[in-house]
Amino acid sequence: MEKQHYLLLDGLRGVAALMVLWYHVFEGFAFAGGTMIETFNHGHLGVDFFFMLSGFVISYAYDDRWKANGLSVRGFFRRRLIRLQPMVVMGAIIGLVTYLLQGGVRWDGTQMPFHWILVAFFLAMFLIPAYPGASYDVRGNGEMYPLNGPSWSLFFEYIGNILYAFFIRKLSNKGLAFLVVMTGLLWTGFVVFDISTYDMIGIGWTLDAVNFFGGLLRMLFPFTLGMLLSRNFNANSQQPKNNRFWLAAIVMFILFSMPYIPKSGNISINGIYELACIILVFPLIVWFGASGKPTGRFSMTVCKFLGDISYPLYIVHYPVMYLFYSWLIDNELYTLGETWQMVLLVMATNIALAYICLKLYDEPVRKWLANNKNSKA
């Protein structure tokens, strides 16, 4: 019997991708002006929502295939690579193009030798991270993937997939619940006591020890919590609920729009707020979304479109943002009021680019790879 499809969750994944994009607009103003992100400063939580949805969907799609369908670890990895890796490669290509358009220089103006740019490009295609201070850190700010910063989350997503295939999927519900609690406690302590000194959850983007450990916890907790939700959710309980997508999207927007909350001594109140979103609100949104399905043509079309472009949008938008950040710095512009026309152009360009990549590259390549896999089987 064919499994139920969570169209509403697809749409919410697209909403999260759009909110990450919107967050990066304001990150650009802060980066150009040397200030903190003061507007929509919780937008990076879209990544944590991705991790939770990933755990939910992977558990739902694969948990029963290992025995019933004889799914092998190799087969699982092949499926995940086909799903994720083509857009990782495209993100690296677009990142290379936009970096060269910027003149091939670091943020401090240092001209980078072309051979180091090529090294960064080839490593990015295979998702091999750069360590801080490496000669191929072509932007000079310590990103794992200096040609396409958000690829860091794919690095941890792959780790989550590896842990799932070899270990987590074998856990009983009690064992999985124990893992959720333990990773949750570690992550809570990490965030509340501000081990990263960022005073927020936005960690994992660079390869120092604190970011690696923090990024691992940042992925593992929502990923395993998403799995636990999936295991205890009845997929046949979906009911036609046309307004649920819009209600959930509004709640997410409000959560991400809340103002920054200053620290109290050594305690990160801002981090506590973001933890509350992940621990308390995101599971409710996922459950709320999974138990309903849109019925109106417009809602269904929006959910499908946003779901389809969500991953391409996330993985290709940041190279365009690098150009936007450079433009802001060159023109000394630091507010939305001064740049709203350019912001609209950037948003539209990223959405169009994601859709073009989806239709002309990602879907055809994944179809070819899947058919090639089947022909060899």
Mean pLDDT of the region 28-48? 93
Task: Please say whether the beta carbons of 314 and 23 come within 8 A.
Answer: no
In tens, the pLDDT along 321-363 reads 999 999 999 999 999 999 999 999 999 999 999 999 999 999 9
| Token pair 């949008």: residue | 313
For residue 361, what is the DSSP state? I
The Cα 186–Cα 214 span in angstroms is: 9
Q: Classify residue 37: in a domain, yes or no.
A: yes
Model confidence band, residue 150 (pLDDT cutoffs 50, 70, 90): very high
- The model's confidence at residue 377, banded by pLDDT at 50, 70 and 90, is very low
CB < 8 Å & 24+ apart, contacts of 36-40:
36/260, 37/260, 38/259, 38/260, 39/336, 40/256, 40/257
Residue 2 maps to a domain: no
Signed CA dihedral, 56, 57, 59, 60: sign only? positive
At residue 374, the pLDDT reads: 57
Residue 115: alpha-carbon gap to chain centroid: 29
- pLDDT score for 83: 97
The sign of the torsion formed by the CA atoms of 239, 355, 350, 90 equals: positive
Residue 180 confidence (pLDDT):
98
More confident residue, 235 or 125: 125
Q: How confident is the model at residue 194 (pLDDT cuts 50, 70, 90)?
A: very high
What are the residues facing 292 on neighbouring strands? 239
Question: What pLDDT, on the 0 to 100 scale, is given for residue 236?
Answer: 74
Residue 320, in any domain of the structure? yes
Q: Is residue 195 part of a domain?
A: yes
Find out whether 330 and 37 touch, Cβ atoms under 8 Å: no
pLDDT of 67-101, one tens digit each? 877 899 999 999 999 999 999 999 999 999 999 99
State the residue range of the domain holding 273: 7-376
Query: Using 50, 70 and 90 to split pLDDT, how confident is the model at 272?
Result: very high
Q: pLDDT tens, 223-242?
A: 999 999 999 998 777 787 77
Does residue 118 have a pLDDT over 80?
yes
State how many domains the chain has: 1
Q: Is residue 252 predicted with pLDDT exceeding 90?
A: yes
Tokens of 276: 């509350």
Per-residue pLDDT reduced to its tens digit, 296-317: 899 999 999 999 999 999 999 9
Contact 315, 13 (CB under 8 A): no
Tokens of 247: 């209600």
Tokens 């180091």 -> residue: 116
If you search the block for the tokens 């209600």, which residue do you land on?
247
Task: Give the pLDDT confidence score for residue 38 in this predicted structure.
Answer: 82
User: Which residues touch 300 (CB under 8 Å, ≥6 apart)?
Assistant: 7, 294
Q: What is the pTM of this model?
A: 0.96
CA–CA gap between residue 335 and residue 343 (Å, rounded): 10
Domain assignment present for residue 1? The answer is: no
